[in-house]
Amino acid sequence: MKFTLKAAAAILVIAPLCANAGGDPEHVKFPEGYEKTFTKYATMNRANQTQVAKLYANEVAISSYTQGKMSASGAVMIMEIYTPKKDADGKPIAGSDGIFEIDSLAAVAVMEKRNNWDAAFPKENRTGDWGFAVYNPDGTAKSNDLNCVQCHTPLQAQDYLFTYQKLVDFVKK
């Protein structure tokens, strides 16, 4: 009986963390029409070597980086995540530039930076002032078991971005 109570208590403590581990769509909204208003700054194979990412930044982020600063409050970053085409052995097919050929859009990840998040958005669900959410291609919230906060937190010197250098290089052109 004691074990059952301890297990139930542990599940109740951990469950909220798992539910929002990949982000919080209640606070980080899907930016409708971003494809037309944001700047695409890179297309690359993701580090996991099983997906392709197209990376976008809004004007606040682009302007901040152009000025040599970290992203200001209001910055929004988008990562479209694509499933690549695969060969007969199930391996991604790379194009002549080394980037995998795209098959289909699988998800859209959103990072939003604000210095005035609502108190209902707990700090432990954010990295610095960055909040996260993952969406289906149609803009509906995607069930996600990734822990965005855990992976982005060590990147403080890079404005918490895995693609920091790509964005810096893009704005320097």
User: pTM of the full predicted structure?
Assistant: 0.84
Per the prediction, the chain carries an average pLDDT of: 87
Give me the pLDDT at residue 57, please: 98
Which residue in the block uniquely carries the two structure tokens 């002032």?
129
Give me the pLDDT at residue 17, please: 36
| pLDDT band per the 50, 70, 90 thresholds, residue 64 | very high
Alpha-carbon distance of 148 to 170, in angstroms, equals 24
| pLDDT band per the 50, 70, 90 thresholds, residue 22 | low
CA-CA-CA-CA dihedral for 75, 140, 22, 15, to nearest 10: 140
Is the distance from CB of 25 to CB of 135 less than 8 angstroms?
yes
Min mean pLDDT across 4-13, 41-50, 104-113, 122-131 is at 4-13
